[in-house]
Structure 1
Amino acid sequence: MFKRLTVVLLAALALTACDRVDPNSPLGKRKAIFKDMLKTSEDMGGMLRGRLPFDGLKFAEGAIRLDSLAHAPWEHFPQVRDEGDSSARAEVWQRQERFHDLARQLEGVTGELVESTRTQPLDPAQLKAPMAKVEAACKACHSEFRNH
């Protein structure tokens, strides 16, 4: 009985491992970047919405990090759709010009957000509009190109 249970458990573990994304693949790299972008923006939004205590230094560091991340995932979208469980719709590859336009828009608004953090001390009320632009840019791309 113990041997059967062991074989079943090992088989189950092997099957769950097959569903993983290779972290060195383009899909794995862009997923990691997008997760980091989400975490960073959630923390920043949390500070502006009162869910987290506002810390001007952390917010400014988050803006710089978010701007850096906003420039990173696009190189990991190959010209042809790659294999794997991607959240990207086929339109990413069919409408690349529009996809890249939205990517540039995100890069622009994250740059604006960084600029808005240059004058210390930071006023959370002054940061809401630039952060809303970043969130809107993310949403615009997700609406057109991401499977939800």
Structure 2
Amino acid sequence: MPAPTLRSLLCLAALPLLLSACGEPADTHPDKPVTQRRAAFNTILKAFEPMGMMLRDKRYDADAFLQSAEKLEAAKEGPWRHFTADSNYPPTKATDKVWSESAKFEEERQAFLAATSRLLEAARSKDEAKATAAYEATHNTCRSCHKTFKK
């Protein structure tokens, strides 16, 4: 195998720099609503994901599930106030329908909020079957909303 040339080494060294320029655009809005709502959705996900893993892995721990449900309940209102009229710009992953179909978006939001409350109730019962059903119902509200309102 031939030794690498100086040119190929320089190209290889420049590759990470070039790839970093291909990232998504920065949130340049003064209040950074896209960044704010993404962070809020990540907080929701960090509460929700452990419950799903626990149920999928058949390792239900009622107390840990309840803790996650309580975290989810505390975080559930976080993202919504950041869907302002002036926040439909890159790097958003929201579709234009968030704003053009605002009544439908609000229905989806309300369904999620209600489902998370029912999930907390089920978690408090410490009944695995109830927790599983409530988790799936909550997960379905996420899927439904993402289907229409997320790129």
TM range (shorter): 0.7 to 0.9
Contact map agreement 2:24 2:91 (CA 8 A) in 1: no
1:117 partner SS: helix
- Identity in percent: 27
Question: 1:123 is matched with which residue?
Answer: 127
Match of 2:100 among 69, 94, 100: 94
What pairs up with 1:1-148 in 2 under 5 angstroms? 15=21, 19-21=25-27, 25-50=32-57, 53-119=59-125, 122-147=126-151
2:124 partner SS: coil
Contact map agreement 1:22 1:28 (CA 8 A) in 2: no
Total equivalences in the alignment: 141
Distance 2:132 2:60 in 1: 12
Q: Between Structure 1 and Structure 2, whose CA radius of gyration is higher?
A: 2
Q: State TM-score, norm by structure 2.
A: 0.77
What value does the CA root-mean-square deviation take over the aligned residues?
A: 2.7
Contact map agreement 1:80 1:93 (CA 8 A) in 2: no
Distance 1:90 1:18 in 2: 18
Distance 2:35 2:55 in 1: 30
Unaligned runs of 5+ in 2: 1-9
Unaligned runs of 5+ in 1: none
